[in-house]
């Protein structure tokens, strides 16, 4: 799958056959046509709160560089809509601003976002996707509300503290293995 460099059926099977039996999920898909189909399958599999997303910029996530198409499963009903960066509270970002070349570079960007040092497109996309997770978890009702809560959490330093705890935990367990 990795050698092909393109999404395969295995990219879709993971969320559909989740061994944790997750009933709430935020899932990115490689094309707009799959959003509704995946939401319908997840409904049949017993999910109760799902956002299936595809960015018009080609990203398989909520994005701020273009509108994002969403198929939302909530209360047994599926609705489709598009959400723009402006509707999420962001200026439209630039896709070139989020290009990365390595896992190490990605980790540095994540650390900059969580520390509050990054206020650009990468932060906005992270907040948008955190908002999606907050919606499917039921902590907020709407994406805009989730963006506000995610930004407040990052700005307060709580997200950075949790990230540092996760890094310590991961490193300690890696050394024990």
Is residue 1 one of the residues assigned to a domain?
Answer: no
Domain, as residue range, for 114 = 9-176
Contact criterion met (CB below 8 Å) for 99 and 55 = no
Is residue 4 one of the residues assigned to a domain?
Answer: no
Is residue 2 one of the residues assigned to a domain?
Answer: no
Res 132 pLDDT > 90: yes
What CATH number is associated with residue 164? 3.40.1030.10
What confidence tier does 129 reach under pLDDT thresholds 50, 70, 90?
very high
Tally of domains within the chain: 1
Is residue 162 one of the residues assigned to a domain?
Answer: yes
* N-term to C-term CA, the chain: 27
Is residue 86 one of the residues assigned to a domain?
Answer: yes
Contact criterion met (CB below 8 Å) for 112 and 118 = yes
> Which pTM does this prediction carry?
0.88
What confidence tier does 142 reach under pLDDT thresholds 50, 70, 90?
very high
Q: For the segment 69-79, what is each residue's pLDDT rounded down to a tens digit? A: 999 999 999 99
């Amino acid at each position: 799958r990795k050698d092909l460099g393109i999404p395969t059926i295995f990219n879709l099977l993971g969320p559909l056959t989740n061994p944790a039996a997750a009933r709430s999920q935020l899932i990115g898909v490689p094309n707009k046509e799959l959003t509704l189909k995946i939401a319908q399958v997840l409904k049949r599999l017993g999910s109760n709160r799902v956002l299936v997303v595809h960015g018009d910029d080609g990203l398989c996530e909520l994005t701020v560089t273009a509108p994002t198409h969403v198929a939302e499963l909530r209360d047994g009903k599926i609705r489709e809509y598009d959400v723009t960066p402006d509707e999420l509270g962001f200026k439209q970002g630039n896709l070139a601003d989020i290009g990365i070349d390595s896992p190490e570079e990605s980790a540095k960007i994540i650390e900059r976002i969580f520390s509050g040092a990054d206020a650009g497109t990468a932060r906005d996309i992270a907040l948008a996707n955190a908002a999606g997770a907050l919606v499917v978890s039921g902590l907020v009702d709407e994406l805009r509300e989730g963006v506000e809560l995610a930004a407040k959490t990052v700005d307060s330093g709580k997200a950075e503290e949790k990230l540092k705890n996760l890094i310590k935990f991961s490193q300690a367990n890696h050394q024990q293995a």
